[in-house]
Structure formats: C-alpha cells, structure tokens
Amino acid sequence: MNQHDQIDEIQAELIQKIQNRKSELGKKLLVLTHHYQRKEIVALGDYKGDSFTLSKKSTEDVNVTYIIFCGVHFMAESAAILAKPHQIVQIPDMEAGCWMADMLDHVQLSRAWEDVTNIIGLDQILPVVYVNSDAYIKAFCGHHGGLTCTSSNAGNAFEWCLERASKIFFFPDQHLGRNTALSIGIPEEKIIVWNPEKPLGGNTKDSIQNAKIILWHGYCLVHTRFKIAHIEQVRKNNKDVKVVVHPECEKEVVQAADAVGSTGFIEKYVKQAPVGSTIAIGTEINFINRLGLENPEKKILPLHHSLCPNMYKINLENLLKTIENVGVMNVITIPDDIKKNAKTALEKMLLL
C-alpha cells in the first residue's frame, strides 16, 4: 500500500466514525460548515453556506440540542449568541480565529467611539460591525443602537443606518466598508479610515465632521493578496474569462472585476454561468477548488492561491473528537450581558 492509499484509508475510517456518531445523535445534532472549509468537512455537514446563511440556520430548528460549527471562532460565537437556552454550540478547534477580527479590540474601539462622538455628537452616528468580530464588539454595537452585517447584506445595513443617522462607523474591515459605501453611491471624499495608533485615528476634526463613513483600518490577509496584476494575467491567458471577487478585496481589484459578492453570491454566479464558461475567482482557495469539482462543465480558476489557515484548522480528527465529546468539548460560552447586547445587533441584521 502506498502513502496515498494509507492516507485515504485513514480518512475513510474517520469519515465512517463521524457518520456513525451523527446517525446515533440524529436530529439532536446540527453540523454547520462554512464555504471555506476543506471539502471532506463540507461533505459531512448538514448545511454549508456563508456566515449569514449559517447564522440563520443555527436559529431555525428547536429540536437541535448540539450545534457543531465548522468555521472560525467568531462564527461559532454568533451561533451561540443566537442559540436557544437548551442549545450548546461547539467548535472543533478553539484556536481557529480570524486575523481580521483580531485587528480590533474593545478598548481601542471605546476610545475611538468617544473621540468621534465628542466631535460630532452621539445622535449623529451609528456603528455597523462586520460579523467577523468578537462578541464584545458586537455587544458594543448593539448597545449603541447599531447592527451587524455580513458581506451579503452590508449595503442594506448601511442604508438602514443612514435612514437613522448621518454617519456610520464601520469595523473592522476597511475594504468591505469602502466597497459597500461606494456601491450605494457615497463619494470617496466622504470616506475616512481610522487608525487607532494615531491621534484622532489619523484624521482632523474637520475631516471627521465632513465624513459620512468612518472605516476601521482592518483587513483580511487572505483577500488583500489579490492584485490587479492577477486579473490582468488571467485575462491575458484566458479569452472571455469572467472575474468574480469577494468584497473584502481592495477597491481597485473589485472595480477591475466583472462581479463582486459574498461566497453565497459567488456560488450562485458559478452555478448560473453558461456551460463552457471560464471563471476566475478571488476568494479562499478551498472554496474555489470545491466549486471546480461541483461544476465540471465550467473552467474554474483561482485568481491567485490564497488559503485561510484558520479555516483550515478544522479537520476530520478534531471534528471526530468534538462529535465524540458532544456537549462537553470546546463549548462556546459568552457572558450574559455581552450575549444580550450582541444578540440585539445580530437580530437586527436578520430582519434586514
């Protein structure tokens, strides 16, 4: 038996054990898998999707007692915030975090909020937080009258806020924030970036007063790897190629692409493309590879190879361990007061 066959055999055994345990637990267990998970993990899930779809799924079935979230920590946290009191949420690897979410902490945010509201007044601004953030940040947002958003509903969240206030403080992803603001017609000169290392975030009182959108300076290292040069190269090598990218990419990349949207949007875009199409995609590589396997009659290309190591931390071994220790291992817990305010922000988003 060669090394490949041995790996296949080990994987098959792990998959069988996970499936057996899933059958034993029946409807009591729900396994959710994000689009960026490895293909063998997605195949074992009850639902796959983007974070918005999965947030909704996690709240729907009251018969479920155990939710195992195959994704990164903030996603499992959102499920735990929205879970019914009898439901327990677990993640196969507690260390599966998110670089972007780590670019913002509660103390920095409170300071920035105070600086901004001292200049413009509390009633002029609402916070919007990308779900890629920890529960404390979501709670801050809920407490201050704002809401969460995902990449599939950020435009709606911005419009919701601008009907109620004249400015938005968006965190932590500056690229999603900028791309969203531009897509709903806010001019570039009304958008500023807040760098917490600098006094007034690197802005002046005038620029803060003049701004409509203030963006935290965070970004996703997976999506900022895509550059204009990759688009030029793929267009040069592939006649009639369509380029679709995620809105966490830089503005220049988004503007040069043929389409932009969340992972849910990208999945639909590929599915609906005519047979024989060539599509180059700018997002996480595991998702692109899976889209290629699911759409063999189309040519699916990565714009560039970019993997999220945190998403990749979930594997068959730690999923099996979690499922064997259901309700006990790697349980997501959140203090009640934080949960309450974070839930307010998440529930507003689900009503959009």
Which residues of this chain interact with ligand SF4, rule CB under 6 A?
72, 98-100, 132, 220-222, 284, 308, 310-311
Nearer Cβ to ligand SF4, position 25 or 222? 222
Minimum distance of ligand SF4 from residue 113's CB (angstroms)? 23
76-99 burial, b for 16+ CB within 10 Å, e for fewer? bbbbbbbbeeebbbbbbbeebebb
Nearer Cβ to ligand SF4, position 200 or 221? 221
Nearer Cβ to ligand SF4, position 93 or 284? 284
Minimum distance of ligand SF4 from residue 221's CB (angstroms)? 6
* Nearest Cα residue to 180 out of 129, 143, 231: 129
- How many Cβ atoms from other residues are within 10 Å of residue 228's Cβ? 13
Nearer Cβ to ligand SF4, position 113 or 130? 130
Nearer Cβ to ligand SF4, position 167 or 217? 217
Nearer Cβ to ligand SF4, position 191 or 222? 222
Minimum distance of ligand SF4 from residue 176's CB (angstroms)? 9
Minimum distance of ligand SF4 from residue 80's CB (angstroms)? 17
Nearer Cβ to ligand SF4, position 162 or 221? 221
Nearer Cβ to ligand SF4, position 134 or 284? 284
Minimum distance of ligand SF4 from residue 27's CB (angstroms)? 29
